[in-house]
Amino acid sequence: MALAHATGALLFFGFAPSAFAAPPESCPATLQHTFPRLQDEKPQSLCQYSGKVVLVVNTASFCGFTGQYKGLEDLYARYKDKGLVVLGFPSNDFSQESGNNQQIADFCENTFGVKFPMFAKSVVTGADASPLFRQLAQMSGPPRWNFHKYLLGRDGKLVDSYTSLTAPDSKGLVRAIEQQLATAPTR
């Protein structure tokens, strides 16, 4: 009886039981995270990107590398139909992202025409880092600056990480992305 009341209360307040379900078995551990979307803060499961090649990037609006937004958007536009997704995570860990989520969203859209998925401001380094960035740091080290890039294969496993000095159009990064896109989707 208590379970029925609890389920009814959850449904009444807009929570479906599936919102608390375990991620699907086909979702790799690196993608079993949920983040608020930057534009409207609606929760988004990263499991929706299972089977894709994923480039995770911590970003900032007031950094010497901020121009990389254009290169990231170009990369996304060029390869998204082949299975690449770029995921942007604004962070103030290096004191170069002081805006709120709406200001960041407006800046990215108006200045660089960013269309790739962006998520709410996150902590990407240290003990308070989001679980995704803690996981990536354990595999390859934490970001040392803004625009650090982690490349995940279609299976969700880390392929490589790239410092801020690696431009989105660098031959090494593009070659690694193309190699991963050439593999069959894991779905």
pLDDT tens digit string along 108-145?
999 999 999 999 999 999 999 999 999 999 999 999 99
Tens-place pLDDT, residues 166-175? 999 999 999 9
Six token digits for residue 174: 């593009």
- Looking at the domain assignment, is residue 5 inside a domain? no
- Looking at the domain assignment, is residue 177 inside a domain? yes
Instruction: Report the number of distinct structural domains present in the chain.
Output: 1
- Looking at the domain assignment, is residue 37 inside a domain? yes
- Looking at the domain assignment, is residue 151 inside a domain? yes
CA–CA–CA angle 184, 141, 163 (5° rounding): 75
Determine which one of 27, 47, 63, 108 is catalytic. 63
Q: Which residues of 143-158 are buried (b: 16+ CB within 10 A; e: fewer)?
A: bebbbbbbbbbbebeb
> Which of the pair, 16 or 128, is modelled with greater confidence?
128
Q: Which CB contacts under 8 angstroms, 24+ apart, belong to 157-163?
A: 157/28, 157/30, 158/30, 161/136
- Looking at the domain assignment, is residue 13 inside a domain? no
Closest CA to 89 of 115, 114, 58: 58
Domain span holding position 55? 26-181
- Looking at the domain assignment, is residue 7 inside a domain? no
Closest CA to 83 of 109, 46, 55: 55
pLDDT at 22 over 60: no
- Catalytic annotation on 108? no
8-state DSSP, 37? B
Q: Look up the CATH number of the domain holding residue 60.
A: 3.40.30.10
Six token digits for residue 162: 């790239």
- Looking at the domain assignment, is residue 77 inside a domain? yes
- Looking at the domain assignment, is residue 16 inside a domain? no
